[in-house]
C-alpha cells in the first residue's frame, strides 16, 4: 500500500492514477500523408487532401513514424509487436475531417513495458506500460477568432501521435509528475518527440479514481489534455478530493471526461466518458496490417542512444559523482553532453559542482539555456584548469566566471586583464599575515587564551588584505605558523 493517502470524513483514501501520454512524433511528414508536420505556419498551410478528408484519398503509412514508435517502445523496455493493425475510431468533431480517427486499438505496435521513476526521498518505483499505439492527431478548433463563428486550423490534422498508456500503478501526485517527467526525458533522449508541452507536442489524459486502502478499483474519471507536469499533479489532487467528497456524501462517481481549470484549481465536467464500443472500432480498410521484420527492429535497437538511466549509472561509475548529482546532470541530453565535455581529463567532481551550482544559477538568472549560454563547455573547462594549476583560487574563479557570463570573454584573458593571478609567493603571504596579526593584537591574545574560532577571522583578514588573491592553503599554513 502507498504511504500517500488523503484524509476524509470517513477515514483514509488512496488515489489510483493511470496516464495516457500523447507524444507527437518527430518526423518531417505526417503519419499518413506527405504534408509537413512542422509546428506553426499560417493556418491550413500544411494540409494535404488526405488530411482534409477529401473523398477517395488513401492513407499511406510513414515509415519513419513507425520507426520512431519502435524506438520509443525499446526505450520503455517494452514488447515490440511484429504484427500490428490500424483501426478506425469513429466519432464526430468539426476538427476531425473524416469523421473518424485512424488509430490502433486491439493490436498496437508496442506492448507492455516498464518505466522506473525516482521520488524525492530517493525511492525507485516501477510503473507498468500497457501499450504504445500510433494514431493521427486532429485539427484545432479556435473560438476566439470571430465574434459568432468558430474556425478550424488543420495544420495539426494527421500529425503522428504516440499514445503511451500506463497501468494504474500511480498512487500520488508526486508519482504522476515523476512518471510524466520520465516519459518526457526518455522521448527527448531518443529524439522521438520534442516533449514541448507548451506547443502541445506532449500532453496527458489523467485517469483518476479513489478507494479505501485494500479495496477493488472504483469508478474513474478522465481529465483531458493537461499540458504541464505541474497541472497534472494539481489535477490529480483536485479530482481525488472531489471524488472523496462525492463518495462520502452518499453519492456515486459517474464515469466521465473532465477538464482541469488551473485558475480555479478544480476539474469540471466535459462530457460522459465513452467506452470502446461507443467508438465502433473496426479494422482500417485502406491499410494492410503493419508487419515488421525482426532484423529491422534489431537494427533500430543497436542504433539507440544511451538512455538516461544507463547514462546516470555510468556517470556515477566513471566520474565518481553522487547518484543525485548524476541525476541532475543527465536530466537533459544537452546537459549530459555539456558535463562530459567539461569533465573530460579534469576533476569530474569539481566540474559537477560548478555546472550544478554557479553555471545553472547563471542560466536561470539570465534566462539562457545551455545552447544559448555565453559560457561554453570549452570556456568553463579552461576556468577549471586555472583553478587546478593554481593560477587562481576558488573565490577569484567565481568573480572571473561572472565576468565570463557578462562579456563572453575567455577566463585567461579576464585574469590577465584584471591582474587576478593567485599569489603563491610565501614571502608576500608571510608579510600580509604579520601585518594582520600586528593590527589585531587583542584578538591574537583571545585566540591564544583558547578562542580557536578566531583562526578563521585571521585567514579572512589576510585574504581581504591580499584582495582575495592569496593561495588559501598557503595562507592557512602561514597564519597557523605565526600564531604558534
DSSP-assigned states of every residue in 107-168: S-SB--EEEEEE-TTS-EEEEEEEEEEEEE---EEESSSSSS--EEE-TTTT-EEEEEEE-S
Q: pTM for this structure?
A: 0.85
- Examine the pLDDT at 462 and tell me if it is beyond 80: no
In 10 A of CB 121, how many CB atoms? 7
Burial call 419-430: b when 16+ CB within 10 Å, e when fewer: ebebbeeeeebb
CB 241 within 8 A of CB 13: no
Please state, in angstroms and rounded to a whole number, the distance separating the CA atoms of residues 246 and 243.
Answer: 5
pLDDT of residue 425: 57
- Examine the pLDDT at 253 and tell me if it is beyond 90: yes
* CATH code, residues 426-483: 1.10.10.410
pLDDT of residue 91: 87
pLDDT of residue 144: 83
In 10 A of CB 445, how many CB atoms? 10
**How confident is residue 467, by pLDDT bands cut at 50, 70 and 90?**
confident
pLDDT tens for residues 393-431? 888 899 999 999 999 999 999 988 877 776 665 676 777
Q: Write the DSSP string, 265-278.
A: TEEEEEEEPPPGGG
In 10 A of CB 230, how many CB atoms? 12
In 3D space, the residue among 97, 93, 103, 99 whose CA is nearest the CA of residue 49 turns out to be 97
pLDDT tens for residues 322-340? 999 999 999 999 999 999 9
In 3D space, the residue among 179, 261, 264, 269 whose CA is nearest the CA of residue 221 turns out to be 269
pLDDT of residue 392: 85
| CB-based contacts of 464, cutoff 8 Å, min separation 6 | none
Phi, psi of 209 (to 5 degrees): -140, 165
pLDDT of residue 271: 76
- Percentage above 90 pLDDT, the chain: 74
pLDDT tens for residues 7-61? 999 999 999 999 999 999 999 999 999 999 998 889 999 999 999 999 999 999 9
- Examine the pLDDT at 453 and tell me if it is beyond 80: no
Q: Is 206 exposed, middle or buried (0-12, 13-18, 19+ CB in 10 A)?
A: buried
- Percentage above 70 pLDDT, the chain: 95
Chain centroid offset of residue 337 CA: 16
Please state, in angstroms and rounded to a whole number, the distance separating the CA atoms of residues 444 and 449.
Answer: 9
CB 21 within 8 A of CB 163: yes
- Examine the pLDDT at 109 and tell me if it is beyond 50: yes
Whole-angstrom CA distances from 456 to 51, 393, 435, 479 are 72, 17, 16, 10
Q: Is 92 exposed, middle or buried (0-12, 13-18, 19+ CB in 10 A)?
A: exposed
Please state, in angstroms and rounded to a whole number, the distance separating the CA atoms of residues 110 and 95.
Answer: 28
| CB-based contacts of 108, cutoff 8 Å, min separation 6 | 81, 84, 131, 132, 133, 134
Q: What does the mean pLDDT of the chain come to?
A: 91
pLDDT tens for residues 357-405? 999 999 999 999 999 999 999 999 999 999 998 888 888 899 999 999 9
- Examine the pLDDT at 82 and tell me if it is beyond 60: yes
Please state, in angstroms and rounded to a whole number, the distance separating the CA atoms of residues 131 and 327.
Answer: 27
- Examine the pLDDT at 450 and tell me if it is beyond 80: no
pLDDT of residue 440: 81
- Looking up cell 465502433 gives 280
More confident residue, 433 or 222: 222
Chain centroid offset of residue 230 CA: 12
Phi, psi of 113 (to 5 degrees): -150, -170
Q: Is 389 exposed, middle or buried (0-12, 13-18, 19+ CB in 10 A)?
A: exposed
Please state, in angstroms and rounded to a whole number, the distance separating the CA atoms of residues 276 and 426.
Answer: 81
In 10 A of CB 229, how many CB atoms? 18
Q: What is the mean pLDDT of residues 57-78?
A: 97
- Examine the pLDDT at 345 and tell me if it is beyond 60: yes
CB 224 within 8 A of CB 259: yes
List the chain domain ranges: 6-299, 306-418, 426-483
CB 70 within 8 A of CB 292: yes
Whole-angstrom CA distances from 96 to 29, 59, 73 are 18, 15, 27
Question: Among 92-96, 128-132, 406-410, which stretch is predicted with the lowest mean pLDDT?
Answer: 92-96
The DSSP symbol for 285 reads T
**How confident is residue 1, by pLDDT bands cut at 50, 70 and 90?**
very low
Please state, in angstroms and rounded to a whole number, the distance separating the CA atoms of residues 347 and 292.
Answer: 47
- Examine the pLDDT at 442 and tell me if it is beyond 80: no
**How confident is residue 128, by pLDDT bands cut at 50, 70 and 90?**
very high
The DSSP symbol for 86 reads -
Largest CA distance in the chain: 98
**How confident is residue 480, by pLDDT bands cut at 50, 70 and 90?**
confident
| CB-based contacts of 348, cutoff 8 Å, min separation 6 | 318, 319, 320, 321
Amino acid at each position: 500500500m502507498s504511504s500517500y493517502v488523503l484524509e476524509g470524513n470517513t477515514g483514509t483514501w488512496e488515489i489510483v492514477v493511470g496516464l495516457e501520454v500523447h507524444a507527437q512524433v518527430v518526423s518531417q511528414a505526417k503519419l499518413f500523408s506527405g504534408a509537413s508536420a512542422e509546428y506553426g505556419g499560417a493556418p491550413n498551410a500544411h494540409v494535404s487532401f488526405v488530411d482534409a478528408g477529401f473523398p477517395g484519398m488513401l492513407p499511406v503509412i510513414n515509415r519513419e513514424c513507425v520507426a520512431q514508435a519502435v524506438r520509443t517502445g525499446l526505450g520503455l523496455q517494452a514488447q515490440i509487436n511484429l504484427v500490428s493493425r490500424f483501426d478506425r475510431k469513429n466519432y464526430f468533431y468539426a476538427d476531425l475531417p473524416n469523421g473518424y480517427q485512424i488509430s490502433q486499438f486491439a493490436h498496437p505496435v508496442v506492448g507492455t513495458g516498464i518505466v522506473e521513476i525516482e521520488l524525492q526521498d530517493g525511492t525507485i518505483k516501477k510503473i507498468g506500460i500497457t501499450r504504445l499505439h500510433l494514431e493521427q492527431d486532429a485539427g484545432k478548433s479556435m473560438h476566439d477568432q470571430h465574434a459568432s463563428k468558430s474556425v478550424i486550423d488543420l495544420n495539426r490534422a494527421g500529425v503522428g501521435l504516440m499514445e503511451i498508456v500506463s497501468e494504474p500503478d500511480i498512487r500520488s501526485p508526486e508519482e504522476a509528475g515523476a512518471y510524466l517527467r520520465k516519459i518526457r526525458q526518455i522521448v527527448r533522449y531518443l529524439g522521438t518527440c520534442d516533449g514541448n508541452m507548451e506547443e502541445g507536442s506532449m500532453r496527458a489524459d489523467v485517469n483518476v479514481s479513489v478507494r479505501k486502502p485494500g479495496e477493488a478499483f472504483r469508478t474513474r474519471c478522465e481529465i483531458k489534455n493537461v499540458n504541464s507536469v505541474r497541472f497534472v499533479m494539481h489535477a490529480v489532487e483536485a479530482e481525488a478530493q472531489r471524488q472523496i467528497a462525492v463518495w462520502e456524501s452518499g453519492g456515486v462517481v459517474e464515469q466521465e471526461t473532465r477538464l482541469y481549470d488551473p485558475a480555479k484549481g478544480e476539474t469540471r465536467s466535459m462530457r460522459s466518458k465513452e467506452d470502446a464500443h461507443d467508438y465502433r472500432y473496426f479494422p482500417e480498410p485502406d491499410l494492410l496490417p503493419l508487419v515488421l521484420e525482426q532484423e529491422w527492429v534489431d537494427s533500430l535497437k543497436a542504433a539507440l542512444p544511451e538512455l538516461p538511466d544507463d547514462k546516470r549509472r555510468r556517470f556515477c561509475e566513471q566520474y565518481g559523482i553522487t547518484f543525485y548529482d548524476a541525476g541532475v546532470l543527465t536530466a537533459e541530453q544537452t546537459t549530459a553532453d555539456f558535463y562530459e565535455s567539461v569533465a573530460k581529463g579534469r576533476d569530474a567532481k569539481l566540474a559537477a559542482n560548478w555546472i550544478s551550482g554557479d553555471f545553472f544559477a547563471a542560466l536561470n538568472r539570465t534566462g539562457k539555456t545551455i545552447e544559448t549560454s555565453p559560457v561554453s563547455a570549452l570556456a568553463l573547462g579552461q576556468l577549471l584548469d586555472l583553478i587546478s594549476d593554481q593560477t587562481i583560487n576558488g573565490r577569484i574563479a567565481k568573480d572571473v566566471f561572472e565576468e565570463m557570463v557578462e562579456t563572453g570573454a575567455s577566463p585567461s584573458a579576464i585574469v590577465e586583464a584584471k591582474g587576478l593571478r593567485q599569489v603563491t609567493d610565501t614571502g608576500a603571504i608571510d608579510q600580509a599575515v604579520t601585518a594582520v596579526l600586528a593590527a589585531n593584537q587583542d584578538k591574537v591574545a583571545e585566540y591564544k587564551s583558547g578562542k580557536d574560532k578566531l583562526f578563521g577571522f585571521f585567514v579572512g583578514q589576510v585574504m581581504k588584505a591580499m584582495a582575495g588573491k592569496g593561495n588559501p592553503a598557503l595562507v592557512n599554513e602561514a597564519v597557523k605558523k605565526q600564531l604558534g
